[in-house]
């Protein structure tokens, strides 16, 4: 038995919960004790839902958004503007933009941004898939009617990633735009309020490297 916890099983549960981002050991203990007081069927359902999410969730073949199917609901929605692709860092950014109701095109989730200090290079992201998609769109449509919206954070790493992507796709002749700077330098889309983010999308401007 641990010197700190009255139960080894409780300690293991606390350690597991505390491994989640933003959860300290004190909060983890509170959550573990809360679960301990719940009916067993509720806890089992909770645990099963986490395991099922991990085992059955897939990434959309087209945009790399998380999905229950091979093609996500956004990519399979034929009412979306299929000539506009919004490039974002992660799934949370898609959710934030969708909340605004101001964007009706498709997405491409990079899965991160270029960050040499963290060992993340272009090959670690889904940039090659984006280039392929843009090439296919520019072949199927007049390039001037295809738009790639670079909706990445305004910090140095986000700008570096935007510049790299621009260089990879500029030869296709498509329009490349970025969010209007209603967002402050270094702001994450996840934390922007819906009105500010919505205006930044509507008033997007030509990307200037």
Per-residue model confidence as pLDDT tens digits over 12-31: 999 999 999 999 999 999 99
Count other Cβ atoms within 10 Å, centred on residue 156. 12
Question: Where residue 33 falls among pLDDT bands split at 50, 70, 90?
Answer: very high
The secondary structure of residue 144, as a DSSP letter, is G
Cβ contacts of 121 within 8 Å, gap of 6 or more:
114
pLDDT attached to residue 154: 79
Residue 149, Ramachandran bin (φ over 0: left; ψ between -120 and 50: alpha; else beta) = beta
5 three-class SS: coil
**Token digits of residue 109:** 């989730």
The packing angle between helices 25-37 and 8-18, to 10°, is: 120
Per-residue model confidence as pLDDT tens digits over 43-85: 999 999 999 999 999 999 999 999 999 999 999 999 999 999 9
As separate numbers, helices (DSSP H) first and strands (DSSP E) second, the chain gives 8, 7
The H or E element that residue 138 is part of is helix 127-140
Cβ contacts of 37 within 8 Å, gap of 6 or more:
none
For the chain, the C-alpha Rg in angstroms (whole number) is: 21
Cα(22)–Cα(26) distance, rounded to whole angstroms? 11
Cα(121)–Cα(124) distance, rounded to whole angstroms? 5
**Buried b / exposed e along 14-52 (16+ C-beta atoms within 10 A):** beebbeeeeeeeeebbebbeeeeeeeeeeeeeeeeeeee
Per-residue model confidence as pLDDT tens digits over 164-195: 999 999 999 999 999 876 554 334 555 556 66
């Amino acid at each position: 038995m641990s010197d700190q916890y009255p139960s080894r099983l409780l300690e293991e549960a606390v350690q597991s919960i505390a491994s989640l981002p933003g959860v300290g050991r004190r909060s983890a203990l509170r959550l573990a004790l809360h679960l301990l007081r719940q009916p067993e069927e509720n806890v089992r359902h909770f645990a099963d839902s986490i395991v099922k999410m991990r085992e059955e969730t897939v990434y959309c073949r087209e945009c790399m958004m998380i999905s229950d199917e091979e093609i996500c609901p956004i990519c399979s929605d034929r009412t979306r503007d299929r000539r506009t692709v919004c490039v974002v860092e992660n799934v949370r950014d898609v959710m934030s933009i969708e909340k605004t109701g101001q964007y009706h095109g498709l997405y491409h989730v990079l899965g991160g941004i270029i960050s040499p200090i963290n060992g993340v290079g272009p090959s670690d992201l889904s940039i090659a898939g984006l280039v392929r998609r843009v090439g296919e769109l520019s072949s199927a449509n007049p390039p001037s009617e295809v738009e790639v919206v670079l909706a990445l954070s305004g910090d140095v790493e986000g700008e570096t990633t935007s510049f790299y992507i621009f260089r990879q796709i500029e030869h296709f002749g498509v329009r490349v735009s970025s969010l209007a700077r209603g967002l402050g330098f270094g702001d994450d889309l996840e934390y922007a309020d819906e009105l500010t983010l919505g205006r930044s999308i509507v008033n997007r401007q030509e990307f200037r490297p």
